[in-house]
Amino acid sequence: TTIDRATMGSTIIHTGVKLDNLIQVGHNVEIGAHTVIAAQAGIAGSTKIGKSCRIGGQAGFVGHVQIADGTQVQAQSGIASAVKEPNQYLFGSPAIGYKDFIRSYAVFKMLPALYRKLQKLEKKLNGQP
């Protein structure tokens, strides 16, 4: 794990934080009390992570965002913007709410079949055999 020193200000790891192996903590980052971060996560500079957050392995955070208390970020998710409401459960890249992710993924798996059906309908509408 690497924790970058701040040029101006401070990089702050609050009490009770647990960091796994091979985590990159950028400059001026603040990690709230009792947050747990799994291996290979990356937190870009000036990001503020709230208290009691749980962050899965290989998750990534853009810089200069704030993450609300109690946020859960699943493994390999990408946080591209601030998380303002506490106790969110996020997944994907860019990360979205877990229920929305599951619904989207179910549709995503059907896209090849839906595309073939759409092509057949277009041919039928255009009078092609």
Cβ neighbours of 21 (radius 10 Å): 9
Pairwise CA distance, residues 38 & 89, whole Å: 16
The CATH homologous superfamily to which domain 2-98 belongs is: Hexapeptide repeat proteins (2.160.10.10)
Interior/surface letters 34-66, b for 16+ CB within 10 angstroms, e for the rest: ebbbbebbbbbbbbbbbbbbbbbbebbbbeebe
Which are the catalytic amino acids?
27
Give per-residue pLDDT as tens, 80-89: 999 999 999 9
Map out the domains of the chain as residue ranges.
2-98
Give per-residue pLDDT as tens, 18-57: 999 999 999 999 999 999 999 999 999 999 999 999 999 9
Single pTM value for the model: 0.86
